[in-house]
Chains A and B, each alone.
Chain A
Amino acid sequence: MEGAAAAAAVVVVAAVAAERAVHGVTGLGGLGVGWRPEIAAWVADRPGLGFTEVIAEGLAPATPSRGVTELRERAAAVVVHGVRLNLGGVEPVEAARVSHLAACAAVLDSPLVSEHVSFVRANGHDAGHLLPLPRTREALDVLAANVARTRSELDAPLALEPIAALFDWPEDEFGEGEFLTRLLDRTGAWLLLDVANVHANARNRGVDPQAVLDSFPLDRVAYVHVAGGSEHDGDRGDAPGTYHDTHTDPVPAPVLELLGSVVDRLGYAPPVMLERDGRYPSGAELTGELAAIATASGLAPDVAR
Chain B
Amino acid sequence: MLALTAGGPVPDGFDPVRMAVTRRALLRKRAGLAAVRWPVLRASHGERWNAVFAAHHDGRPSRGALADGFDVARALAADGALTSGALAELADHEALWHYDGSGEPRRRSAWSPHRLRHRLLRPRAR
Interface-located stretch among B14-22, B78-86, B87-95, B112-120: B14-22
Tell me how many residue pairs across A and B have CB atoms closer than 8 Å. 55
Majority-rule SS of A interface residues: loop
Bound CA span A127–B23, Å: 9
Whole-angstrom distance between the Cβ of B12 and the nearest chain A Cβ: 7
Are A128 and B19 in contact, CB atoms less than 8 angstroms apart? no
Among A123, A168, A239, which residue has its beta carbon within 8 angstroms of that of B1? A123
Are A125 and B14 in contact, CB atoms less than 8 angstroms apart? no
- With an 8 Å Cβ cutoff, the count of chain A residues facing the other chain is 20
Majority-rule SS of B interface residues: helix
Indicate with 1 or 0, residue by residue over A111-137, a CB within 8 angstroms of chain B CB atoms.
Answer: 000000000001101111101000000
Are A125 and B21 in contact, CB atoms less than 8 angstroms apart? no
What residue of chain A has the Cβ atom nearest to residue B16's Cβ?
A: A167
Q: Is A170 an interface residue (CB 8 A)?
A: yes
Q: Is B75 an interface residue (CB 8 A)?
A: no
Among A129, A170, A278, which residue has its beta carbon within 8 angstroms of that of B26? A129
Q: Is A171 an interface residue (CB 8 A)?
A: yes
Q: Is B44 an interface residue (CB 8 A)?
A: no
Bound CA span A171–B2, Å: 18
Are B21 and A126 in contact, CB atoms less than 8 angstroms apart? no
Known: A239-B21, A242-B21. A128 touches B14 (CB 8 A): no
Q: How large is the interface on B (under 10, 10 to 19, 20 to 34, 35 or more residues)?
A: 20 to 34
Write out the residue numbers on chain B whose beta carbons fall within 8 Å of the beta carbon of A169.
13-14
Bound CA span A170–B6, Å: 21
Write out the residue numbers on chain B whose beta carbons fall within 8 Å of the beta carbon of A168.
15, 18
Are B22 and A166 in contact, CB atoms less than 8 angstroms apart? yes
Bound CA span A176–B23, Å: 22
Are A125 and B18 in contact, CB atoms less than 8 angstroms apart? no
Among B5, B13, B15, B33, which residue has its beta carbon within 8 angstroms of that of A171? B13
Q: Is B24 an interface residue (CB 8 A)?
A: yes
Are B33 and A125 in contact, CB atoms less than 8 angstroms apart? no
Write out the residue numbers on chain A whose beta carbons fall within 8 Å of the beta carbon of B5.
125-128
Write out the residue numbers on chain B whose beta carbons fall within 8 Å of the beta carbon of A167.
14-15, 18-19, 21-22
Q: Is A36 an interface residue (CB 8 A)?
A: no
Q: Is A244 an interface residue (CB 8 A)?
A: yes
Known: A166-B21, A239-B21. A128 touches B29 (CB 8 A): yes
Among A125, A128, A131, which residue has its beta carbon within 8 angstroms of that of B30? A128
Q: Is A238 an interface residue (CB 8 A)?
A: yes
Indicate with 1 or 0, residue by residue over B8-44, a CB within 8 angstroms of chain A CB atoms.
Answer: 0000111101111110111001101100000000000
Are A125 and B2 in contact, CB atoms less than 8 angstroms apart? yes
What residue of chain B has the Cβ atom nearest to residue A279's Cβ?
A: B32
What residue of chain A has the Cβ atom nearest to residue B11's Cβ?
A: A170
Are B30 and A166 in contact, CB atoms less than 8 angstroms apart? no
Q: Is A3 an interface residue (CB 8 A)?
A: no
Are B62 and A170 in contact, CB atoms less than 8 angstroms apart? no
Write out the residue numbers on chain B whose beta carbons fall within 8 Å of the beta carbon of A129.
25-26, 29
Q: Is A206 an interface residue (CB 8 A)?
A: no
What residue of chain B has the Cβ atom nearest to residue A167's Cβ?
A: B18
Whole-angstrom distance between the Cβ of B18 and the nearest chain A Cβ: 4
Write out the residue numbers on chain A whose beta carbons fall within 8 Å of the beta carbon of B24.
237-238
A–B pairs, 12, beta carbons within 8 Å: A125-B1, A125-B2, A126-B61, A127-B1, A127-B26, A167-B14, A167-B19, A167-B22, A169-B14, A237-B24, A239-B18, A239-B21
Among the interface residues A126, A131, A167, which one has the most CB atoms of the partner chain B within 10 A?
A: A167
